Structure 1
Amino acid sequence: MSAQRHPDETITAAGGAPASASSPTSLRAAGLALAGLSAIFLFEMLDNSILNVALPTIGRDLHASTTGLQWVTGSYAVVFGGLMLVFGAVADRFGRRRIMLIGLVLLGVASLATAFVTTADQLIAVRVVMGIAAAMTTPGSMALAFRLFDTESLRVRAITLISTVGLVGLAVGPTVGGLVLAIAPWQVLLLVNVPIAALAFVGIRFGIARDDAADLHRDPIDVAGAALGTATIVFALVAPTLFVNEGAGSWLPWAMTTAAVAGAIAFVRRERTARHPLLDLKLIARPLVSSGLAFKAAAGLATAGLGYMVTLQLQLAWGWPPALAALGMLPQVVVLLGAGPFVNPFVERVGLGRAAWLSASAVVIGLAVYAVLGSFGYAWVAISLALVAAGLRVVGVVAAVNVLNGLPKNRTSIGAALSDSVTEVASAIGVAVTGTVLAAVFVGTLASTNWVPAQTAQFQQAITISALSLTVIAAALVGWGIVRTRRAGAGGDDAANGAVETRGMGQE
């Protein structure tokens, strides 16, 4: 099912632009640009996975507390997630390529500063700056990859290639990190970002043309909306962590959740009344956009929740050592890396819309298999990991393409940022649901090695409840996304809203 097209190029979705003679006609022709964009995704995926291995070493070297170590990784994630919408809006106004190049310079400088870190607070500050740099580069890279080509086939292939490079970083990060720590100080793990940023800078600088002024807009930035949006996402990312760390009986996570809900309500009210909103809510209501976001949310929720549950089950309930538990996650890694060549043929066969909801449904089915059968042996766990990974491999690409296809040409960066923000928040909620249920059902110390039979039963009950809860939520999101996809295919309001939604967007 292909995306809908708008006849007027000044108000069409980016996917609707006619082919340009200057656009690359193959991936090889855009090799330098794709190398730069792939390097950005490699940094995003490699960064936290490689750093997590070093946390014990960092704690000893910097005399960091447990809370300090949590913020070494948490500060990056919160800043990154909180600022994506803002920098997406800035990039659509001042140039996606320009903002990305500035972000890459900032990333390189921050990574170099790691060599001079002597305290945990200094490292956290470095991680905050790296989070800012990631927010400036990651959403723009998806938008640039999308805009680089004029055909859906090349867009899907390009984004599949870029995401494959990132997934390789995610898969090999822990192993590479462990090997590096055996022969070098932990600072090297962050200094590796310097050559990655340099490669990305060269690829973007010389492989991608300057932004066309006609594809940008000059609307004033909605400062109040930006502040409310950032605060809402930050609260939404911090609250799940508090539920896991403090427990559902503490007032703090509930206060943070309340703040997130209040912030979201205030943000929506602001965006509905602002003359130049940061995020035009009419755009999100478009069937292609809303369905793509629903599929991305379902995939993020299921993937993060399943990974968290399986890791706990293998090591705590089944007593597997960490190395064996890592091998137990291999079905997910193998499918994520091996399915890349099959994504484009599958999409070409069934169409973008159908590929999105079929792959999102596979994610839900995999989660349901784990919820019902995961306690009966590792074979069922492996099947669920493979199903979720197969679905994620496709939906991660096609849902993002559909979101961008459903947006005007001068809103692609904030669309990519919105897509990433939805995934980040959904992933945090997936982990929080499991952690909260475990805290409520399991009696005793979860990390204890001497569980009594009652505790084993409690753990399995908590995992089952968590998995079923996440399955129901993910299924509801996918079901709603399917309804919206069918509306788009039937010629829904994507086209009808085109002219209306250009109000307040400035002159093209």
Structure 2
Amino acid sequence: MTPDQPQLDARASTTGPDPAPTLRGAWLALAGLSAVFLIEMLDNSILNVALPTIGRELHASTTALQWVTGAYAVVFGGLMLVFGAIADRFGRRRIMLVGLVLLGAASLATGFVTTADHLIWVRAAMGVAAAMTTPGSMALAFRLFDTEDLRVRALTLISTAGLVGLAIGPTVGGLALAVAPWQVLLLVNVPIAAFAFVGIRLGIAADLAAELHHDPIDIIGAVLGTATIVLALVTPTLYVDEGSGSWVPWTGAGATVALAIAFVVRERSARAPLLDLRLLALPLVSSGLAYKAAAGLAVAGLGYLVTLQLQFAWGWPPALAALGMLPQVVVLLAGGRFVGPVVQRLGLGRAAWISAAAVVVGLAVFALFGNLGYGGVLVALVLVAAGMRVVGVVAGTNVLRGLPASRTSMGAALVDTSSELATAIGIAITGTILAALFTGSIADTTWSAAQTVQFQTAVTVAGLSLTFLAAVLVGIGFARASAGTAGLT
């Protein structure tokens, strides 16, 4: 197969079983898929507000509490590619249904947790379930429809449900803790998972054998790929926790690079690789992943920097800082209705690079003007949120339509993995620069005049560094998309 062949296959066979003519015609399936994404976003946000309570009740150390949230993220990010490959071989719907059962069982196990270690294992099991279900939600939504317009609208609807969960998670969690034990925050997954199971089981037909990938799974590649991603997600936290002067994070970075090289060598030589690296060379795939990574890098860096700016530099209390971030939440939630019209007016290609560029510009605005007052922060939050709302949908759509039908779960997993890795890198770069340029503890209640200057310098340097890297990724995405367009003329 030539590098161009998968794209030709994708054009020949992009419709799955029983494509729906309207969103309403697939309401049950979309409700189930939206519930899957809602769970993922809730699990990412709702538990954070309960960490002090969990620490007291389970006598957990600071490190243990870090892993209560970190175990989910690391396992989730590390296994997405593996389960993407499994779903492409054994059925996206089947793997998603099994994942929902596992999620329900793990959530029920929360009621029996008595130690922090038990909770960490429960969270890791939830991460496995998320890796089984999340990539499939995009792949199955893409398969439900046979036109770009309906696919974009479906992915917008599903992502909106997830953003609602991300936005309301901390608030709902805080209110629930006032009247119920913390375990309720995870037990709520059970009825949502059951609803998703019914919607997907009844609303989506089983995968066609012709649209599945029948090569054996590359076990060695799966181990190397998973280890690479896990280390890539853990190492950035080492730079933040240990500092760039410690040997620990540099050892982690070296091991990550070594494993990544071993993975590439394995995938290039394997008869049936876990990830066919030729697929990454396809213009729509490489451009979509570059845009998604640029957005993930910018969003993670901006969220981290703005939080520090508002609370540490300006002394805003947490409640006021939350209100300061509210414009971003409003744009993310309300912007869903504009994604479809924007794509119809500009086309998927132009919508992708313009929205990704808006994210980069927003980050640059914060780096250059955020220290002058809240006005600069507000503009940055709005630009980044508006760009992210569009690029989050169109980049994923471009990746999936650039792949053959038998690789859509792997494509969705690549999209999610690129975003997860970019998020980790964004936070690592920001934390490392702050640690290098700011002397003393950033959490001290009072700063000297010199520390204030150091902080502002660090924020500017970190913001501009992230802006540069995100701009490079957008440039790569634009170049690859242009190459694909030129190849079709």
**TM-score calculated relative to the size of structure 2:** 0.98
The answer to whether 1:484 aligns with 2:486 is: no
Partner of residue 72 from structure 1, selected from 68, 77, 83: 68
Equivalent in 81, 85, 88 of residue 85 of structure 1: 81
1:321: which partner in 2? Answer: 317
Q: Does 1:392 align with 2:379?
A: no
Q: Matches of 2:230 and 2:68 in 1, distance apart?
A: 16
Paired residues of 1:13 and 1:406 also in contact (CA < 8 A) = no
Aligned equivalent of 2:22? 26
Q: Which residue of 2 is the match for residue 102 of structure 1? A: 98
Residue correspondence of structure 1 range 488-499 to structure 2 within 5 A: 488-491=484-487
Aligned with residue 362 of structure 1, among 342, 345, 358:
358
Secondary structure, aligned partner of 1:53: helix
> 5 Å matches for 1:39-188?
39-188=35-184
Q: Is the 8 Å Cα contact of residues 12 and 409 (structure 1) preserved in structure 2?
A: no
Structure 1 residue 423 corresponds to structure 2 residue 419:
yes
Distance (Å, rounded) in 2 between the aligned partners of 1:68 and 1:380: 37
Picking from 26, 29, 34, the partner of 1:38 is: 34
Q: CA deviation at 1:371?
A: 0.7
Q: Residue 15 of structure 1 contacts residue 150 of structure 1 at CA under 8 Å; is this kept in 2?
A: no
- Compute the displacement of 1:490 (Å): 1.5
Secondary structure of the structure 2 residue equivalent to 1:186 = coil
Aligned to 2:260: 264
Whether the 8 Å contact between 1:15 and 1:404 is mirrored in structure 2 is no
Q: Aligned match of 2:345 in 344, 349, 365?
A: 349
d(CA) in 2 for partners of 1:19, 1:379 = 47
User: 1:471-490: CA deviations, max 9, x gaps?
Assistant: 00000000111011111111
2:14–2:404 CA contact under 8 A, matched in 1: no
CA distance in 1, matches of 2:285, 2:34: 24
Q: Is the 8 A contact 1:13 1:405 kept in 2?
A: no
> For residues 441-467 of structure 1, what are the alpha-carbon distances to aligned partners after superposition, in whole Å with 9 as ceiling and x for unaligned?
111111000111111111111110000
- SS of 1:107's equivalent in the other structure is helix
> In 2, distance between residues paired with 1:35 and 1:246?
44
Q: Tell me the distance in 1 between the aligned counterparts of 2:170 and 2:463.
A: 26
Query: 1:17 corresponds to which letter in structure 2?
Result: S
Q: Which runs of 5+ in 1 are unaligned?
A: 1-5, 496-508
AA partner of residue 269 (structure 1): V
- Runs of 4+ in structure 1 off by over 6 angstroms are 18-21
Compared CA separation, residues 11 and 452, structure 1 to 2 (3 A): closer
Q: For the structure 1 residues 15 and 147, does the alpha-carbon distance in structure 2 shift closer, same or farther, using more than 3 Å as the test? A: farther
Residue in structure 2 matched with residue 300 of structure 1 by the alignment: 296
- Kept after mapping to 2: 8 A contact 1:14/1:147: no
The TM-score normalised by the length of structure 1 is 0.94
**CA deviation map 1:397-454 (0-9, x unaligned):** 0000000111111000011001100100000110111110111111111100011111
Whether 1:452 and 2:448 are equivalent positions in the alignment is yes
Task: Give deviations 1:124-162, integer Å, cap 9, x for gaps.
Answer: 000010000000000011100111100000000000000
* Contact 1:15-1:152 within 8 A present in 2 as well: no
Distance 1:394 1:381 in 2: 20
CA gap of 1:101–1:441, structure 2 versus 1, over 3 A, is same
- From the superposition, tell whether residues 12 and 202 of structure 1 become closer, same or farther in structure 2 (CA, over 3 Å): farther
Q: CA deviation at 1:57?
A: 0.5
Q: Distance in 2 between matches of 1:275 and 1:18?
A: 25
Structure 1 residue 217 corresponds to structure 2 residue 197: no
Q: State whether structure 2 residue 374 is matched by structure 1 residue 374.
A: no
Aligned partners of 2:359 and 2:384 also within 8 Å: yes
- Percent same amino acid among aligned pairs? 72
Pair 230,19 (structure 1): closer, same or farther in 2 beyond 3 Å: closer
Cα distance between partner residues in 2 of 1:299 and 1:15: 27
- Amino acid of the structure 1 residue aligned with 2:28: L
Summarize the Cα distance change of 1:16–1:475 in structure 2 as closer, same or farther, 3 Å threshold: farther
The alpha-carbon distance between structure 1 residues 341 and 482, as it changes in their structure 2 partners (threshold 3 A), is same
Deviation for aligned residue 1:170: 0.5
Give the drift of 1:48: 2.0
State the alpha-carbon separation in 2 of the partners of residues 455 and 269 from structure 1: 47
Matches of 2:210 and 2:28 in 1, distance apart? 24
Per-residue CA shift, 1:340-380, capped at 9, x if unaligned? 01100110111101110000000000001011111110011
Determine helix, strand or coil for the equivalent of 2:309: helix
CA distance in 2, matches of 1:244, 1:18: 43
2:17–2:144: 8 Å Cα contact kept in structure 1? no
Q: Is the 8 A contact 2:336 2:389 kept in 1?
A: yes
Q: Is the 8 A contact 1:14 1:412 kept in 2?
A: no
Rounded to whole Å, the distance in 2 between the matches of 1:66 and 1:191 is 24
Q: Partners in 2 of 1:196 and 1:209 — Cα distance?
A: 21
| 1:17 and 2:13 aligned | yes
What is the CA-CA distance between 1:14 and the residue it aligns to?
4.0
In structure 2, how many angstroms separate the alpha carbons of the residues matched to 1:11 and 1:337?
33
Amino acid at match of 1:63: H
Q: Which moved more, 1:21-30 or 1:220-229?
A: 21-30
Q: SS where residue 113 of structure 1 aligns? A: helix
Tell me which residue corresponds to 1:312: 308
Give the direction of change, closer, same or farther, for the CA distance of 1:465–1:197 in structure 2 (3 Å limit): same
1:253 is displaced (CA, Å) by: 0.8
RMSD: 1.4
Tell me, in whole angstroms, the C-alpha distance in 2 between the residues paired with 1:383 and 1:18. 39
Shift of 1:34: 0.2
Matches of 1:21 and 1:460, distance apart in 2: 55
Q: Aligned partners of 2:449, 2:480: CA distance in 1, in Å?
A: 47
Residue 412 of structure 1 aligns with which residue? 408
Q: Which amino acid letter does the alignment assign opposite residue 165 of structure 2?
A: G
Q: Distance in 1 between matches of 2:18 and 2:375?
A: 51
Name the residue aligned to 1:281. Answer: 277
Partner SS for 2:105: helix
Change beyond 3 A, Cα 1:18–1:58: closer
Q: Which residue matches 2:244? A: 248
1:16 Cα shift? 4.8
Q: How far 1:111 sits from its partner (Å)?
A: 0.1
